[in-house]
A = this chain, B = another copy of it.
Amino acid sequence: VTHPAVGRVAPAHRRSPGAPPRPAADPGDAAAAVSTVRIAVDLLGGDQAPDVVVGGALQACGSDPGLHLLLVGPPEVTDAAVRALDRDTRDRLDVRTAARVASPTAAVGRNPDTTVRAAVRAVTEGYADAVVSAGPTGATVTAAALGFGRWPGVRRPALVVTLPTLTGRPVVLLDVGASVDAAPATLAGHAVLGAAYRSITGAGGGRVGLLSIGTETGKGDRVRRAADPLLAGLSLPGGATYVGLVEGHDVVLGERADVVVTDGFTGNVLLKGLEGAYDLVRDRLPGEHPPRAAVLLGVAGTAVVCHGAAGPADVASGIGLAADLHRTAALGALAALLPWAAPPPPPTSEVPHD
């Protein structure tokens, strides 16, 4: 009942032999304190691209001396961005030319000329370590699934965010937009991905709940009623346990679950609703809002999707998130927790020895 999963399963190797050596940090430089990470940034993604994206990219550079950016966009945009920089920042930027904006509604989006496809290709070819886009979610997910390949056993990739809660225990919510029309088996896959993600980023031992409209067994729509017993039968990674059905408020209260599983339609509506709720009280709670950057789980590469309405600070935060994930080899560690199959080798910054 779902669309065929897009994207091949990841092969064992994903770095092209011709990949360049990564820039070496000068040992006498402050940058040596942090390891270098190279992020491909889709300049045309987002409602206010390219200005907001360029602004966010520069902001990220300013706060992370180990950051190198590969700006992906049309020549006039990359040229203008580079011209505006001081020499120090310019030394940490490269550009890759791609001119087409990804379509928000193309079902498959196999057009290889879009900026997001070019940014993913930069990673697969070894010119960058991770990709960040504030463009249409579907286009980014498709580009990543096609370019990186899906992890073995992953039916549908999922976008995950970590939300602050009333109890202080953050809640991992997935999917927030990658898998609309999710089948029960897709939700079971999300539960495994979410538990593994919680395990590598949080305190471990997560309680995994299935988002529904009541907590009693049997509550929910057809998909939830079928998924509930599937999730109950899973052996979840990282010592996580399935706690049954949870409700919308549990995503922000944090009392009943640490990982909340849902389909990409419901999760996206909920996340944007929460964002609106914060906007509603913005005058009294300035600066607070749910995360505007989501991590794509289930593909053999690091991809961060920023909110289309992201501001420069949000884009910078998304770039920082991608950098953290790469530096901690998070997605490789996550893949190693998945029960389905021997995971692909974790992402590495090493250049193959020829």
Contacts and interface: CB of A to CB of B under 8 A. Distances in A.
B280 A166 contact: yes
User: What number of copies of this chain does the assembly contain?
Assistant: 2
A53 interface: no
Nearest to A251: B273
Given A180-B220, A213-B264, A279-B253, A274 B272 contact: no
A181 interface: yes
B285 A273 contact: no
A247 B272 contact: yes
Interface string A210-225: 0111101111111010
Interface in A171-194: 177, 180-181
Interface in A264-282: 264-266, 268-281
Contacts of A229: none
Contact of A274 (B164, B211, B277): B277
A109 to B, nearest CB: 12
Most buried by B among A217, A250, A269, A270: A269
A63 interface: no
Contact of A275 (B137, B165, B211, B249): B249
A248 B276 contact: yes
A217 B273 CA distance: 20
B276 A250 contact: yes
A353 interface: no
Give chain A's interface residue range (CB within 8 Å of chain B). 35 or more
Contacts of A276: 166, 248-253, 274
A124 B330 CA distance: 62
A170 interface: no
A279 B249 contact: yes
B250 A166 contact: no
Nearest to A275: B249
A281 B279 contact: no
A104 interface: yes
A278 B253 CA distance: 10
Interface in A207-260: 211-214, 216-222, 224, 247-253
A22 B105 CA distance: 58
Nearest to A224: B265
Given A217-B105, A218-B105, A279-B166, A272 B284 contact: no
B180 A213 contact: yes
B253 A273 contact: no
Contacts of A165: 280
Nearest to A250: B276
27 contacts: A104-B214, A105-B219, A136-B214, A180-B213, A181-B221, A181-B222, A212-B265, A213-B264, A213-B265, A213-B268, A248-B271, A248-B272, A248-B275, A248-B276, A249-B275, A249-B276, A265-B266, A266-B266, A269-B269, A269-B270, A270-B270, A273-B274, A274-B277, A277-B277, A277-B278, A281-B281, A281-B284
3 closest residue pairs by CB, A with B: A248-B272, A249-B276, A248-B273
